[in-house]
């Protein structure tokens, strides 16, 4: 069992006719952990430490979304935010979950916001970290994910943009994400999510529009690293200003991996918000 978890494989369930890999622990009110989109990403690489801690209080579910991790890749799939929302709802339906709180990292935060905006009756509370909002320019961190071609050296170079402290990039993490990046089609979800970088000049990108965020009535905890070089800090400020029920916590000396770089603070703040 330990070997399958280290590899990122968990349980499998059919959601939207997609064989979906996920991890589950604990009991109580359901909380869904939604991973980001960097190279070699999976629910396990994003949430392996968080799952057991939140499982003390909640039923924790952490799926690999369509196009990522160990979830089945359909050759004719169209990856966009509408598809990912449908996949998430199909995942909840397959498990008999009518309403859940969503905790999203980066892309997962965008997915959480989109789901709450379009299907408010399915969402209780939200926690979003390092999540884009409205228009911004592609950062070197996002560009490195697009350009990534599998090798341990390239994985280490891509990951160098993510944490404030490079000590968080361990040999184990590099190897784990490199192995996940070798799954056929592993880059497809990421490259469908981002616009192709311009050869010269800036590349404009769009996160969830502020007008959409402003429509979300669910309570939102916004977490962002001050030194985030992947999704600029200003994105978190926009969400906090736009959402009617939003609290913002900004972490100093912290990059894009709030849940790893400020682990204890993340768990405490998230638990308190979800239990309010």
Q: What span, in angstroms and rounded, lies between the C-alpha atoms of 239 and 246?
A: 8
Among residues 35, 144, 228, 273, which one is catalytic?
A: 228
Is the CATH number 3.40.50.1820 carried by domain 2-275?
Answer: yes
Judge whether 42 counts as a catalytic residue.
no
Q: Which of 32, 75, 26, 28 is nearest to 53 (CA)?
A: 26
Each domain of the chain, given as residue ranges in start order, spans: 2-275
Q: What is residue 4's predicted lDDT score, i.e. its pLDDT?
A: 37
Among residues 101, 106, 144, 181, which one is catalytic?
A: 106
Judge whether 256 counts as a catalytic residue.
yes
Q: What is residue 7's predicted lDDT score, i.e. its pLDDT?
A: 58
Judge whether 228 counts as a catalytic residue.
yes
The model's pTM is: 0.95
pLDDT tens, position by position, for the chain (276 residues)?
333 334 589 999 999 999 999 999 999 999 999 999 989 999 999 999 999 999 999 999 999 999 999 999 988 888 899 999 999 999 999 999 999 999 999 999 999 999 999 999 999 999 999 999 999 999 999 999 889 999 999 999 999 999 999 999 999 999 999 999 998 888 777 777 777 899 899 999 999 999 999 999 999 999 999 999 999 999 999 999 999 999 999 999 999 999 999 999 999 999 999 998
C-alpha distances out from residue 149 to 42, 145, 186, 190, Å: 17, 9, 11, 13
Q: What is residue 187's predicted lDDT score, i.e. its pLDDT?
A: 77
3-state secondary structure of 69: coil
Alpha helices of 194-262 — where are they, by DSSP H? 210-213, 233-242, 258-261
Q: What is residue 186's predicted lDDT score, i.e. its pLDDT?
A: 80
Q: What span, in angstroms and rounded, lies between the C-alpha atoms of 229 and 142?
A: 9
């Amino acid at each position: 069992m330990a070997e399958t978890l280290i590899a990122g494989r968990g349980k499998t369930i059919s959601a939207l006719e997609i064989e979906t890999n996920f991890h589950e622990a604990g009991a109580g009110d359901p909380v869904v952990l939604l991973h980001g989109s960097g190279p070699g990403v999976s629910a396990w690489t994003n949430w392996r430490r968080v799952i057991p801690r939140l499982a003390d209080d909640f039923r924790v579910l952490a799926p690999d979304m369509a196009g990522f991790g160990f979830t089945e890749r359909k050759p004719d799939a169209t990856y966009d935010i509408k598809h990912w929302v449908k996949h998430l709802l199909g995942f909840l339906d397959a498990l008999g979950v009518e309403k859940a709180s969503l905790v999203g990292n980066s892309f997962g935060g965008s997915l959480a916001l989109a789901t709450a905006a379009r299907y408010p009756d399915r969402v209780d509370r939200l926690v979003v970290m390092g999540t884009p909002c409205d228009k911004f320019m592609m950062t070197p961190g996002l560009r490195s994910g697009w350009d990534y071609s599998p090798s341990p050296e390239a994985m280490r170079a891509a990951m160098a943009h993510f944490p404030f402290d490079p000590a968080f990039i361990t040999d184990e993490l590099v190897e784990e994400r490199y192995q996940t990046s070798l799954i056929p089609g592993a880059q497809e979800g990421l490259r469908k999510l981002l616009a192709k970088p311009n050869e010269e000049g800036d590349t404009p990108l769009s996160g969830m529009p502020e007008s959409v965020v402003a429509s979300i009535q669910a309570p939102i905890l916004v977490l962002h690293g001050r030194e985030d070089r992947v999704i600029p800090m200003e994105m978190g400020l926009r969400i906090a200003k736009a959402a009617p029920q939003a609290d913002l916590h900004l972490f100093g000396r912290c990059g894009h991996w709030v849940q790893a770089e400020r682990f204890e603070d993340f768990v405490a703040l998230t638990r308190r918000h979800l239990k309010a």
